[in-house]
């Protein structure tokens, strides 16, 4: 059976999956940037019929970048309409993967180092989106840019609205303001596209859902579905 390697290089981590020829994910990996040699060591002796790479860190190169069977996917390769040239390929691919798997229109929330919202209508055209610093970035920003505020972890459950000390005030402030803002976006989207699915992906997605964000589906693999369905990858994978 032919196998196909898909790699997504984000701002913090490198993720990879190995597909079988029927879109089945056979193996999956996730490492930080400095752990790239570990990923390469695990897969260095493997043969892949085709390789697709999507990256938002162009200076970070892997041993697969220059292989003849490798395709570097860019935003312009994603078959959605009205995408702007500076849109990250990760956003475009996740939105495309969500639409192809779950149907259009669709709203995707990608909760990673940054949190992005990307809305696609029934004609596969970009409606618009938003970008804000992600949860971990919010907490880290307060810690790194003040002299007295502590380094506080992301709470597992939604904290009480009114904090009684500095750490709990940071947790509740970020959690409640963040959640309310995101929910307002979701409510507005659903008022325009009542039949749309709202799908969340990314490492902090489960935190937001535990706090009560009202999404329809959690799917950590949206970017890989997008890579799979792009013509440059799929045509070889299905041949």
Contact 116, 131 (CB under 8 A): yes
Contact 174, 162 (CB under 8 A): no
In three-state secondary structure terms, 151 is coil
Residue 123 appears among annotated catalytic residues: no
Q: CA of 156: how far to CAs of 163, 168, 211, 212, in Å?
A: 16, 13, 8, 12
Cis peptide before 105 (omega within 30 of 0): yes
Given the residues 45, 47, 90, 187, the one annotated as active site: 90
Residue 195 token pair? 């039949």
Contact 169, 161 (CB under 8 A): no
What b-and-e string marks burial along 10-25, b requiring 16 or more CB atoms within 10 Å of the CB? beebbbbbbbeeeeee
Name the residues annotated as catalytic: 90
């Amino acid at each position: 059976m032919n196998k196909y390697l898909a790699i997504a290089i984000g701002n913090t981590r490198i993720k990879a999956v190995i597909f079988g020829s029927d879109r089945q994910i056979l193996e999956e990996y996730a490492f930080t940037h400095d752990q790239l040699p570990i990923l390469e060591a695990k897969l260095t002796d493997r043969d892949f019929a085709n390789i697709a790479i999507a990256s938002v860190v162009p200076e970070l190169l892997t041993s697969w970048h220059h292989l003849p069977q490798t395709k570097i996917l860019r935003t312009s390769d994603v078959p959605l309409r009205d995408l702007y040239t500076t849109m990250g390929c990760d956003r475009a691919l996740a939105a495309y993967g969500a639409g192809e798997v779950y149907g259009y229109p669709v709203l995707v929330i990608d909760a990673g180092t940054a949190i992005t919202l990307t809305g696609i209508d029934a004609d596969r055209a970009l409606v618009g989106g938003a970008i804000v610093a992600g949860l971990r970035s919010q907490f880290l920003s307060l810690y790194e840019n003040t002299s007295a505020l502590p380094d506080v972890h992301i709470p597992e459950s939604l904290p009480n609205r009114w904090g009684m000390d500095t750490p709990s005030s940071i947790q509740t402030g970020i959690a409640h303001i963040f959640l309310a803002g995101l929910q307002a976006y979701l409510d507005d989207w659903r008022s325009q596209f009542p039949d749309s699915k709202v799908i969340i992906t990314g490492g902090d997605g489960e935190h937001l859902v535990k706090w009560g964000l009202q999404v329809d589906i959690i799917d950590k693999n949206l970017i890989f579905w997008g890579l799979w369905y792009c013509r440059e990858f799929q045509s070889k994978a299905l041949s």
